Structure 1
Amino acid sequence: MDLPGRTKNSVSKGGKVPVTVFTGFVGVGKTTIILSLMNSMPKNYKFCLLKNEFGDVKVDSQIAKLNNIDVQEMTNGCLCCVLVGQMKEGLLELKEKYNPDRIIIETSGSAFPGPIAWQIRELADEGFVLDSILNVVDCKNFVGYADNSYTAKLQAQYTDLVLLTKHEGVSERDMDRVIDRVNDLNTDAPKILVNADQPVSPELIFGLDTKLFQLQGPTGPNNKTFQDELNQNGDKTHHRNELDTMEIKCYGPKTRNPEKVLNLTAFEKFLGTLSKEDVYRLKGFVRLSGVTGSTAGTTIYVVNHAFGKWTIIPVPEKDNLEPSDDEEEKESHKCDLDHDHSEHTHACKKERPADQELQMHFILMGELWGIQDKLVHGCGGTYDSGEVLSEFKTSRATFAWDKQLPANYTDFVAERLASKQ
């Protein structure tokens, strides 16, 4: 296999580390494609993954570690605006620490691709070269989310290659609608089907050389839309217009007694109530009991939920969900700077009872405003206390509880309404 990079047997790119960028809406399968690609490569070809996501739930770094992949995850912001300087620092750190043959950047679902590409080109003197930008499209859900997301349209327009995922089970008529819609946005970029049980060819993905900066017209860098995207018009909050986000933390007794820990059956029942029209993505960690084959009684699991489908993966070496001291410090600063405190019902850095620990930590994305209370009740009903940080397209809000929520949803809503009076 002969690929661009810096290994002895591969084609050199002037001694610079090639950077491949994956874009796509939340839950379309970017991480799955990336891990599949990495696992199909020769063992001596060194990858690093720079991952960007909202919230502070570092799920994908954990999944990547399970696959023996070096990853750096950038959270609580967007690579194309808020985290601009951090992207440069992240790339330089990966280059110095691992000396990789290639770095893959996986953007958040609401990242504009143009500014990211521009920033990588600006790092040429630092030893990086932009190889290509790839856009992942979810065939089952694209027509729906593209109607609501300006960024999803931009990502499909500004790409070297469109990767069509989740096409299995899509009717021929609906597939034609997806292809027509993508072609309306980008006629020139090739489109290829990605099968769930078969990796994409590395020669295809990593054999590209981006031509985007040579283009004229609607996707060219001299186009006004591209320039507006690059400049952001000073707006560092564009991602808030795309999705509602909600971060949920739940606390319970420090016990490994399965009777005191959320049961897998009950948890999956809750996941099954989440409509894909409301919840596009749920990702995080949860301690579960009642899992067939588990010898520990309770185990921490990674949960990945996208458009009504989910996977639950055990992480046996992870014993607790509490952040490290460094992460707590960052969380404290984040709370001080980013929150509208007018709706706070709790202190940002709240001391937990000594006999309690973090049992569930999720980030959710979608159209959550109308179902906020249902999500809080569904996630938190098993636990003694918890907190929710919500960032809606129209406002921000926080909510905390210090006793187990009412088992009856009607009573929970009544309690919430009473607390607001």
Structure 2
Amino acid sequence: MPKGYKFCLLKNEFGDVKVDSQIAKLKNIDVQEMTNGCLCCVLVGQMKEGLLELKEKYNPDRIIIETSGSAFPGPIAWQVRELADDGFVLDSILNVVDCKNFDGYADNSYTAQLQAKYTDLVLLTKHEGVSERDLDRVIDRVNDLNTDAPKVYVHVDKPVSPELIFGLDTKLFELQGAMAPNNQTFQEELDRHGKKSHHKNELDTMEVKCFSDRNNTLTGQLTLEKFETFLATLDKDEVYRLKGFVRLSGIAQEGSDQTTSSICVINHAFGKWTITPVPEKLNVAHEDEEKRTQCHDEHCHDEHHHHHASSQKNEDHELQMHLIIMGDLWAYKYKLIYGCGAEYPIGRVLCEYKASSDVITWDKMHPGTYNEFVAEQMAAKQ
């Protein structure tokens, strides 16, 4: 960015794991992250408040809104346009297309098709990793969805110039006209494919939290080697995204041959991942204890055994793993929960499948293994 140019990043992700914020903080970027919902549906009012707060606090030249991968851009654009009297102008809508994985994702996600269709500029990433024939097929498919928007190659070692993406003065999603929020024809096109419940129609999500005995620092710790072996087993066509925090042992110490244990940020997308140790002072794995012991409201009202894990004293346990997983996860349930190789004595898994929901909590303070726990769960369902 030009020297002296101020910008803010408003980030939207599933779940309440603020992975992207922590990565940004390591690079000295201040991020306001909106979690536990989608900007285009559940968080509609909150986004306006977030924008006004950023303006008052920083008065930036630009605000970049990065939505989750399954957010429809229309409602977000309308919200920005409604803030015109507060000095906000919608500049452009940008769409990033992962050339390596777009075909499979677009097949499962009507929202992905809408994103490619209603955009001012298509940024083509990961094109270096595909054959010329496959790249032509992806571009042909994007052109079928959107003929008019320019397509620009983004090289892995060369950032996109601000001069290219700023100042486009978009005409998409104006408050009056063919793509206005009150245009019946446009709304029918969206609702026909279930936009109002697009997350449940397109994605499974899973939240995994595991805790260990606070007085035993070795219990429940994964080794870096075991965890990477586990990540390598996840099918990129089914697990689109995995993000979160895990305490790992076997982390190399800078400038030394020794290894240590550290909280790490895990960022996994379509079969590739990064694992970044985080300074303990960021305190990323010590969440609000009251919050982490509460069951998910919509699941726990009539299932008393789900409260079992909540009965533990806060001071007895320490969060060791907190992951959010998105994709087509039905067949991955036990693999994701119990496939890592550690034996956490207490934990919780919230599963939101396209067809159903599920909650598992466990409390095994006495000797027991994941395999034994899985066997119990399987026997209980028979």
Contact 1:340–1:396 (8 Å) recurs in 2: no
Question: Deviation of residue 97 (structure 1)?
Answer: 1.2
Aligned residue number for residue 335 of structure 1:
296
Q: What are the equivalent positions in structure 2 for 1:366-377 lying under 5 Å apart?
A: 366-377=327-338
The alpha-carbon distance between structure 1 residues 207 and 225, as it changes in their structure 2 partners (threshold 3 A), is same
Aligned residue number for residue 163 of structure 1:
123
One-letter code aligned to 1:306: A
Question: Deviation of residue 60 (structure 1)?
Answer: 0.8
Aligned residue number for residue 297 of structure 1:
260
Tell me, in whole angstroms, the C-alpha distance in 2 between the residues paired with 1:376 and 1:56.
18
Q: Could you say what secondary structure the match of 1:132 adopts?
A: coil
One-letter code aligned to 1:193: Y
Aligned residue number for residue 282 of structure 2:
318
- State the Cα deviation string for residues 192-230 of structure 1 (Å, max 9, x = none): 111111111111011322132479999787875633477
The alpha-carbon distance between structure 1 residues 260 and 215, as it changes in their structure 2 partners (threshold 3 A), is closer
Aligned residue number for residue 272 of structure 2:
309
- State the Cα deviation string for residues 172-209 of structure 1 (Å, max 9, x = none): 11001000000000000000111111111111011322
2:342 corresponds to 1:378: no
Question: Deviation of residue 171 (structure 1)?
Answer: 0.3
The alpha-carbon distance between structure 1 residues 320 and 374, as it changes in their structure 2 partners (threshold 3 A), is same
Q: What are the equivalent positions in structure 2 for 1:244-323 lying under 5 Å apart?
A: 244-254=204-214, 257=217, 261-293=221-253, 297-316=260-279, 317-319=281-283, 321-323=285-287
Question: Deviation of residue 147 (structure 1)?
Answer: 0.7
RMSD: 3.0
Query: Across the two proteins, how many residue pairs are aligned to each other?
Result: 375
5+ long unaligned stretches in structure 1: 1-40
Q: What are the equivalent positions in structure 2 for 1:104-253 lying under 5 Å apart?
A: 104-213=64-173, 226-228=186-188, 236-253=196-213
Question: Deviation of residue 406 (structure 1)?
Answer: 2.9
Question: Deviation of residue 258 (structure 1)?
Answer: 5.8
Aligned residue number for residue 98 of structure 1:
58
Contact 2:13–2:36 (8 Å) recurs in 1: yes
Question: Deviation of residue 114 (structure 1)?
Answer: 1.0
The alpha-carbon distance between structure 1 residues 221 and 193, as it changes in their structure 2 partners (threshold 3 A), is farther
Tell me, in whole angstroms, the C-alpha distance in 1 between the residues paired with 2:191 and 2:197.
13
Tell me, in whole angstroms, the C-alpha distance in 2 between the residues paired with 1:248 and 1:87.
27
> Which has the larger displacement, 263-272 or 411-420?
411-420
> Which has the larger displacement, 374-383 or 177-186?
374-383
Aligned residue number for residue 48 of structure 1:
8
Question: Deviation of residue 262 (structure 1)?
Answer: 1.5
- State the Cα deviation string for residues 217-270 of structure 1 (Å, max 9, x = none): 997878756334778999753321110000000111326856862111111111
Provide the TM-score with structure 1 as the length reference.
Answer: 0.81
Contact 1:49–1:70 (8 Å) recurs in 2: yes
2:46 corresponds to 1:86: yes
The alpha-carbon distance between structure 1 residues 81 and 320, as it changes in their structure 2 partners (threshold 3 A), is closer
The alpha-carbon distance between structure 1 residues 234 and 303, as it changes in their structure 2 partners (threshold 3 A), is closer
Q: What are the equivalent positions in structure 2 for 1:6-17 lying under 5 Å apart?
A: none
- State the Cα deviation string for residues 141-183 of structure 1 (Å, max 9, x = none): 1011101101000000000000111111200110010000000
- State the Cα deviation string for residues 107-132 of structure 1 (Å, max 9, x = none): 11111111111111011112211010
Tell me, in whole angstroms, the C-alpha distance in 1 between the residues paired with 2:163 and 2:53.
27
5+ long unaligned stretches in structure 2: none
Identity of aligned residues (%): 69
